[in-house]
């Protein structure tokens, strides 16, 4: 199974609960299709770089998962059909991106300089 990452931007007109419900729907499609969700990260309401459908903000949600390639097509069809989705981007991760995401999840990038020096001394 290949490892993927998908970022979904939902319309800002939704309430926080409805946005979470929409993300749960897409996660369920993945798990029902045999995917293993590695990490989910809800970025919340953020400003868009440029207006999409006359909207300047959107709810961002990032999901990293392992899935067979056939499932991606099915998921993207569901995302295109859903009116709540402004944009989405699915990326197949290579070994370097997987290693980077593992380091990011373990907190290797968020340590303070003093903590790094302590760790190096040990």
pLDDT, one tens digit for every residue, the chain (122 residues): 899 999 999 999 988 899 999 999 999 999 999 999 999 999 999 999 999 999 999 999 999 999 998 999 999 999 999 999 999 999 999 999 999 999 988 887 777 666 555 666 66
What the chain holds in terms of domains, given with CATH numbers, is: 1-104 (3.30.70.60)
Q: List, edge to edge, every strand of the sheet that includes 36-52.
A: 36-52, 55-67, 2-10, 85-92
Nearest C-alpha neighbor of 58 from the set 72, 74, 46: 46
pLDDT of residue 105: 86
Give the containing element (helix H, strand E) for 1: none
CA angle 69, 72, 74 (to 5 degrees): 120
Count of CB atoms situated within 10 Å of the CB of 65: 25
């Amino acid at each position: 199974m290949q490892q993927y990452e998908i970022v979904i931007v939902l319309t800002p007109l939704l309430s926080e609960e409805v946005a979470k419900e929409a993300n749960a729907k897409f996660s369920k499609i993945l798990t029902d299709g045999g995917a293993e969700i590695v990490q989910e990260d809800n970025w919340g309401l953020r400003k868009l770089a440029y207006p999409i459908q006359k909207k300047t903000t959107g709810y961002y949600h990032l999901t990293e998962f392992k899935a067979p390639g056939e499932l991606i097509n099915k998921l993207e069809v569901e995302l295109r059909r859903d009116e709540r989705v402004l944009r989405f981007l699915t990326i197949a991760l290579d070994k370097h991106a997987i290693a980077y995401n593992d380091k990011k999840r373990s907190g290797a990038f968020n340590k303070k300089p003093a903590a790094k020096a302590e760790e190096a001394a040990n």
